[in-house]
């Protein structure tokens, strides 16, 4: 074992000694549980912080998605049709 390895091991041991020991997690029964009313109140508060899109933004995004879906469906249909014709012509059916 060389000097560098010994220094590294000593450093790791020092870090282990200086690090506080971790306590095991408390069982579920000992944890503070929130009531359903508190939970829904907190959810409502978090939802108020959300930056909701405006109606025109939603409509614009929906139109874009529908256009892309139509284009991709047409592209996949066209490639499938062309490859089927090619395979049928290749094997002579």
As given in the structure block, the two tokens for residue 2 are 């060389």
Whether the full predicted model's pTM is greater than 0.85, yes or no, is: no
Q: Tokens 């959810």 correspond to what residue? A: 43
As given in the structure block, the two tokens for residue 13 are 């041991």
Q: In which band, very low, low, confident or very high, does the pLDDT at 20 lie, cut at 50, 70 and 90?
A: low
86 pLDDT higher than 80: yes
* Higher-scoring residue by pLDDT: 86, 31: 86
CA torsion, ordered 62, 68, 70, 73, to nearest 10 deg = -130
List pLDDT tens digits, range 26-84. 666 556 888 999 999 999 999 999 999 999 999 999 999 999 999 999 999 999 999 99
Which residues does 53 contact at the CB level (< 8 Å), separation at least 6? 61
């Amino acid at each position: 074992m060389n000097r560098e390895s010994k220094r590294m091991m000593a450093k790791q041991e020092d870090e282990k000694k200086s690090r506080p020991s971790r306590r095991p997690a408390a069982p579920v029964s000992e944890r503070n549980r929130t009531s359903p009313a508190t939970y829904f109140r907190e959810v409502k508060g978090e939802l108020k912080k959300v930056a909701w899109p405006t109606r025109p933004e939603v409509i614009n995004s929906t139109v874009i998605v529908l256009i892309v879906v139509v284009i991709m469906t047409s592209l996949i249909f066209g490639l499938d049709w062309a490859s089927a014709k090619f395979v049928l012509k290749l094997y002579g059916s």
